[in-house]
A and B are shown apart, each in its own frame.
Chain A
Amino acid sequence: MSTPILSTHALTGGYGDFQALFGIDLELHEGEVISLIGANGAGKSTFLKSVFGLLPVAPEMVRYDGAAVGGTPAHRMVRRGLAMVPEGRRLFVGMTVEENMRVAIDNARLPEGEGQWTRERLFELFPILGEKRRQPIEDLSGGQQQMVAISRALLCQPRVLLCDEISLGLAPKVIREIYAILPEITAAGTSIVLVEQDVTLAREASNRLYCMLEGRITLTGASSDISRDDIAAAYFGATDAVA
C-alpha cells in the first residue's frame, strides 16, 4: 500500500499528569474511511485532539502527508488539510448559520472557489441550512446543528476529516441522513476518521476499523471481516467479554 496520508506512531498523550493514550499506531490512506470505536473513556476523543494539535504530543508521533506534524497548533493543521467535526458540535453561538460557515471559509486550506466544497453545494446537500442561513445557530435543532458542524469542517477544504461522534444524541432518521453524505465526502478525495459508539453504524460506514480500550488499540482489520464476537472481546476486554 502507498504511504498513508495520516498516521500515528506509538502516540502517547493525555491531560497534564493523566495519561490517556498508551502507544497508538494507526494509519489512514487516501480516500479511505476508518472508524475508531470503543467505550466511553477509551481515549477516542483524546486521540483525535492529540492528532489535531489540541493536546501536546512529540512531532514524530503524528505524520501527515509525509511530514512529522505532532504538536502543530490546530489552526496550522487546518491550513495543511485537516478538519474536525468536534464532539457536541461546538458551533459559534451568537452567529448565524452562514457566519459559522464563513469562519471556516476565511481560514480554509483553499479559497472557496478552488476547493471541492462551496456553500451552494452544502445548501444542496442540506436544503434546510439554505433556508436557515441567516438564523442564529442556537435556533436550529440538534440534527440541523450537526449539519452545520459538518459543513463548517468541509468548508475548511480538508484532505482528512476527523468526525467525533456525529451520531450522538440525534434521531435515527437524522443519523441516516448525515451518514448518507459520507460517500460524497470520500468521492471528493477526502479521507475520514470516524469516531463512533454505535458499532453497527461504524462497521457499515467504514473500510477498516480500529477498536480502542483503555488507551490502547485492541483490534484492527477490514470492517467487513471482523466478527461481532471479536469486537465485543476487544471493546470490553478479552477476559470478561460478553456478547
Chain B
Amino acid sequence: MQWLDAIIQGVLLGGMYAQYALGMALMFGVMRIVNIAHGDVMILLSLIAVSLAGVLPVGNIGLIVVIVPIAVGIGWALQTFILNRVVGADPLPSLIATFGLSIALQNLMLEVWSADTRSLPNSGIASESFQIGPIYVGLLPVIVLICAFVLTGGLDAVMRYTRFGRGLRAAAADTEAAAMTGVDPKRIYATATAIAVGILGLAAVFAALRATVSPSDGSAQLIYAFEAVIIGGMGSIWGAFLGSMVLGVAQAIGLRVDPGLGILFGHLVFLLVLATRPEGIMARKK
C-alpha cells in the first residue's frame, strides 16, 4: 500500500512537472531552442503572481486570468526581441543568449523580491484533500494534474490539426523551406514561444499555491522540464507528459526509500532512459 501511495503521489507530482515541461516540449522538443531561462521565467511569473495577489483581490482563478496574458506577452517579447535574432541551425547562440538572460533574471528578481521564499496566501485549497480507501489525495495536485492533462491534449491537437501547428512543425524541420512555402518563421516562432510561456504562467500560479518560490529556484524546474522532454522523446507533446509522470513517480518512490533520495532517483531514471532508449519513450522513428 505504501508503494501504491508512492505511485499516486508520484503521478500527482508528475502533473506539476508536466506543466513545466509542456512549454519546454514546444520550444526544445519541437523548435530545438535551448531556453536556459525557462525555469527563471516561471519563477518570475510566480513572484509577479505573489505580488499581484497582495494588491489585487481577484482570487486564484482571477490571478490565473491576469498572469497568463502577462506570460504570453513575455513569451512573445522573448522570441521577437531575443531568440529570433539568434535562432538558426546552430543551437549555441540561443543557449548563450538565454543563459545570460537566466543570470540577469535571477539577479533582477533578487533585487526586486530579495532572497526570501514566498508563496500565495493559502486560501485553503492547498491543504484540502480527500480519501480513496486508505490513501489521502490532495485536491490541488489533482487539479494540477487535470489541467496538465487537458493542456497536453489541447497542445497536441493544435500541433497536429491546425494551420499553426503544421506551420510550426514545418519551420522547425526546415526554416528556409518553410519560408519558401509561405510560412513566416519569425511570426510563427513568436506565437509558439508565447504559447509555451503562457502555459508556464499557469504553472507559475500553481507552483506558488502549492509551495514556496524564491529567485534561485528556477534551475531545478529547468532540469525537471529538460529531463521530462528527453525521457518522453523530442518532438512529442504526449511524450513530455509521460516523461513528467516517469520523473514524478521515480522521485516519489525514491522518497519512500529514503527521504534524501527522491530527487536523485529522478535523475537516475533519466540517466537510465538516456542509456537504454536515448530517443525517448515516444520518439517518432527517424
Question: Do A93 and B180 contact each other (CB < 8 Å), given the known contacts A102-B166, A103-B166?
Answer: no
B87 interface hit (Cβ, 8 Å): no
On whether the beta carbons of A54 and B169 are closer than 8 Å, the reply is no
8 Å CB contact of B181 from A54, A104, A136: A104
- Residues of A in contact (CB 8 Å), total 29
- Stretch from B101-109, B131-139, B143-151, B171-179 forming part of the interface with A: B171-179
Known: A75-B179, A95-B173. 11 other contacts (CB 8 A): A75-B185, A78-B182, A83-B180, A90-B180, A92-B169, A95-B169, A99-B169, A102-B166, A103-B170, A103-B181, A107-B182
A52 interface hit (Cβ, 8 Å): yes
Min CB–CB distance A80 → chain B (angstroms):
10
Whole-angstrom CA separation of A26 from B173 in the bound complex: 33
On whether the beta carbons of B183 and A94 are closer than 8 Å, the reply is no
Residues of B within 8 A of A86 (CB): 176-177, 180
Residues of B within 8 A of A132 (CB): none
On whether the beta carbons of A156 and B169 are closer than 8 Å, the reply is no
On whether the beta carbons of B178 and A92 are closer than 8 Å, the reply is yes
Residues of A within 8 A of B166 (CB): 95, 99, 102-103, 106
Whole-angstrom CA separation of A83 from B181 in the bound complex: 7
Interface centre among B173, B174, B180 (most CB of A within 10 A): B180
8 Å CB contact of B176 from A54, A99, A107: A54
Residues of B within 8 A of A138 (CB): 286
Min CB–CB distance B191 → chain A (angstroms):
14
Residues of B within 8 A of A54 (CB): 176, 179-180
Nearest A-chain residue to B284, judged by Cβ: A94
8 Å CB contact of A74 from B173, B180, B235: B180
